[in-house]
Amino acid sequence: MAEMTLNAPGFGATWATLRVESTQIGAQGGPAFPQLLMPLSVVLHPVEPKLVMGDYFPTPDDPIQHYSLLQLSGSLVVNSIPIGTFQTTPITLNSRNNQSGTVLILVPLDLFRIQYIEERRSGDVSLRLDITPWIAKHYRVARKEPLSGYEQFETNFHQLSVQVPQSHWIQNILPGLGYGRIHLIEVPIPATAIGEGLTKTVTELQHAQDAFTNGDYNKSLLFCRNAIELLSTIRPYVGEVKRPTFADKIDFLLEVLPGTPTGVRRENLARLLKDLWGFTSMSPHPSKLQFTRDDAQMTMLIVTAILSYMSHFVDAAQKVQQI
């Protein structure tokens, strides 16, 4: 269990204790609206000025200092990088009767930030909350008096670190975040002329996604075909064939890009690209519905994966100034 305390300025005495149990951290929302849930157990107690100066026997007339916790806001930090922010709903806890309760911190995330955590995680997950509490300091009154009004508002900065066991993270949190239900594939885009070619392929993929969303699966496949055709032209063909086909361009590209597979692996990769190009080809009568939603979805995933794979070789070629 991780714990942090809030101390009264000038007294050095604790008036609030906040705790979080790692195995109570959860998640909700799935891949559409992933949120990390962190319930904080909060216990408040008054500050007795005389008590911090030495032992004494309290009486009803002794002064006592009360505080109210109004709200918490801050950031969720992983590997020193803030990956999400939060702001709780208003809190109505004060130290008058040693009040306690649970404050729920909700941190909205997205699949890219979840993937960021997963790519850097090895075993347990280290989370840190950078917390700014909004506090109300009450007028000091005698112990026998009821809770007084607000004297002033205060705020400060605290950090609360918690280690989430790997088993709990995998079994209870990742499923709630929807991780694993949607695959994210990164396509790095070089910034020079090579990058312009890849940018065009990614643009075609975006058009394919738009067509897919609109239910035009034929057009979605057409844009996917455009993307892989553009990929074949990233390196201008200078082979022996006067009118090179798509297959000729792919064979040449795999020969000149540094780091591409060799031997049987290269043959299989070339065959995959050629077969995919053939699969996305329209018949002589494109007005007739040919491709289904499943066809389009499968093709977009494969084309995206191929672009991600090939972009590393294109990027390497840029770095060595070979194209």
Residue type, 247: A
- At the fourth CATH level, which superfamily is domain 193-319? Nucleotidyltransferases  domain 2 (1.20.120.330)
Per-residue pLDDT of the chain (323 residues; tens, 9 = 90+): 899 999 887 666 889 999 999 999 999 999 889 999 999 999 998 887 655 555 666 778 888 889 999 999 999 999 999 999 999 999 989 998 889 999 999 999 998 899 889 888 888 999 999 999 999 999 999 988 898 999 999 999 999 999 999 999 999 999 999 886 655 555 554 444 344 557 788 888 888 888 887 888 899 999 999 999 998 988 888 888 889 999 999 999 999 888 899 999 999 999 999 999 999 886 655 556 578 888 998 998 898 888 888 888 887 777 766 44
Whole-angstrom distance, CA of residue 8 vs CA of residue 314: 60
Q: What's the pLDDT score for residue 191?
A: 42
Tokens coding 262: 């060799």
Q: What's the pLDDT score for residue 10?
A: 66
Give the closest residue to 128 by CA, choosing from 255, 311, 4: 4
Q: Where are the domains of the chain?
A: 2-177, 193-319
Reported residue count of the chain is 323
Task: Please return the burial class of 121, using the count of CB atoms within 10 Å of its CB with bins 0-12, 13-18 and 19+.
Answer: middle
Q: What's the pLDDT score for residue 197?
A: 52
Fold of 2-177: Immunoglobulin-like (2.60.40)
Sign of CA dihedral 271, 274, 277, 281: negative
Query: One fold for both 2-177 and 193-319?
Result: no
Residue located via tokens 């309760």: 101
Whole-angstrom distance, CA of residue 129 vs CA of residue 131: 6
Residue located via tokens 């005389």: 50
Give the closest residue to 273 by CA, choosing from 293, 250, 253: 250
Nearby residues of 167 by Cβ (< 8 Å), 6 or more positions away: none
